[in-house]
Amino acid sequence: MTSPAVAAQSLTPAAVQAAYDLIQPYVHRTPLLTCKTLDTIASTPQTREALVGTPFEGQIPAQPRFHLFLKCENLQRVGAFKARGAFHALLRLLEERGDEVKQRGVITHSSGNHAQALALAASTLGVPAYIVMPRISIPSKIAGTRSHGAKVIFSGSTSVEREAVVADIQAKTNAILVPPYDHVNIICGQGTTALELEAQHAEQAGSRDLDAVITPIGGGGLNSGVATWFSDKSTRVFGAEPTFEGADDCRRGLEAGKRVESVGTLTIADGLRTPVGLINWEVISNKKRVEGVFAVTEEQIKATMRLVLERMKVVVEPSAVVGLAVCLFDEDFRRRVEQEGGKEGWHVGVVFSGGNTTVEAIAKLFG
């Protein structure tokens, strides 16, 4: 078996470009939106009162200048960026193993977005699919997965519980595992988000480069894919996580110098409840590829989600807005933008990773 370090060496911008060329017929080129209202809010210093009770209490609030470019993967097929990686991984698998894949089928585990993505890819390409989902998954995500003809099997909510059920189903069906994030082909597929983002920013901003891109981190497929695309460019890449019940495993791992192997959290950002994958860790822990990971609270996630819903009129799930929440609330990140961006500020690409929520779930969050 190839080691994670060796696998990570195959992650190059050229590999992301090849993935994009392959999946283009199957995925959307999602919009890159701007919002002057959000730029203004993000560029306004927080009040000293707002910093009370936070790690930044007593500090003089930062005065950054943001120009935000919001990549709407919530408008991707199945409502999330995961369609990119799922189609790429399955297309490569069919290239390599052909009819064997269609005979054995594929299996994965996911709280919902990769579940729906692989179910769609499998249905489109004529492959049976078995999807292990936590019992507490949002009903619309379960229904979406089933709507593509996949067989759904339920499990507990942690990654360890999910993986145990996957092993049991594999023993019975001989289905081929398509991991949700810890695989080179998945990572390259997710990296196509960055390829599009950069091209769309150039269309809107001309020769001005993106200063930074920030994405959510759960298993790390999206962040490591984005970092792969920008690895030979000047654009900085950052990650964002929830703090709730230790969901910020990547940030904590970076501080400790060692990957956190398991996570047990029920953060409202349900797509970010998994530990960072082994290959993904090799990329994200490399300071030359990802310059930092920040974390935000449940209340900050909700406040940011409200802003996006009410000011942008864009439907997003909680996981999607953690990167924007960092721009709004994390004084360390905001101070860096102030110091390095000066009067011109930073052009920051923010990936809205998905929009798979329901009216009931939104009402419960804000009721």
Tell me how crowded residue 41 is: count the other CB atoms within 10 A of its CB.
Answer: 16
Helix 322-329 and helix 298-307, axial crossing angle in degrees, nearest 10: 100
Distances (CA, A) of 304 to 38, 270, 297, 363: 10, 16, 11, 15
Write out the two tokens for 332. 């360390």
Q: List the beta bridge partners of residue 294.
A: 240
**201 neighbors 210 (Cβ within 8 angstroms):** yes
Rounded-to-10 torsion of CA 283, 284, 288, 292? 170
DSSP 202: H
Category of 58 on φ-ψ map: left (φ > 0), alpha (ψ -120 to 50) or beta: left
Write out the two tokens for 329. 């609330």
Write out the two tokens for 117. 């993505």
Integer Cα distance of 269 and 305 in angstroms: 11
Q: List the beta bridge partners of residue 349.
A: 69, 213
Q: Is the alpha carbon torsion for 79, 249, 188, 120 positive or negative? A: negative
Distances (CA, A) of 165 to 23, 36, 223, 277, 302: 30, 47, 27, 18, 32
Bridge-based pairing of strands 176-177 and 106-109 is parallel
Catalytic site positions: 82, 111
User: For the chain, how big is the Rg over CA atoms in Å?
Assistant: 19
